Amino acid sequence: MLSGTLPGTLMLFVATALAEIVGCYLPWLWLRQQGSPWLLLPAALCLALFAWLLTLHPTAAGRTYAAYGGVYVAVALGWLWLVEGIRPTLWDMLGAAVALSGMAIIVLAPRG
C-alpha cells in the first residue's frame, strides 16, 4: 500500500484509472466521433502517466494490477455518468461493488 495507508493507496489507484481512461477515451473520440488527430498527443501522455503511476505501488506488479482492476471498474462507471451522461444501472453498481470487494481483499490481506 502507498505509505501504509488505505486512503493513499485508493487515491493513487483512482489517479491511475483516470489517466488510463483519459488516455483511451481521447483516441475513441478521434476514431468514433471524428475528433481531431491532435487528441492523440494528450492521450499518449496520459497513457505514459498511467504506466508511471502503476510503478509507484511498492507491492508486486501482479498484485497491483489485480487490485487496480477493481478500482478501474468503479472509476469507469463514474466516468460513464459524469462525462458521458449515462447513469449507471443497479447492475453496474453491483458489479462495481463486487470488483471493489475483490480489490479490498487483495489490498487488505495480511502478508507475512
What pTM was estimated for this model as a whole?
A: 0.88
Q: Are 68 and 41 in contact (CB under 8 A)?
A: no
Q: Which domain holds residue 88?
A: 2-108
Q: What is the pLDDT of residues 44-62, one digit of tens each?
A: 999 999 999 999 987 888 8
Q: Are 42 and 26 in contact (CB under 8 A)?
A: yes
Please return the burial class of 25, using the count of CB atoms within 10 Å of its CB with bins 0-12, 13-18 and 19+: middle
- Contact partners, residue 65, CB within 8 Å, separation at least 6: 54
Number of domains in the chain: 1
Q: Choose the most confident range, by mean pLDDT, from 45-59, 60-74, 76-90.
A: 76-90
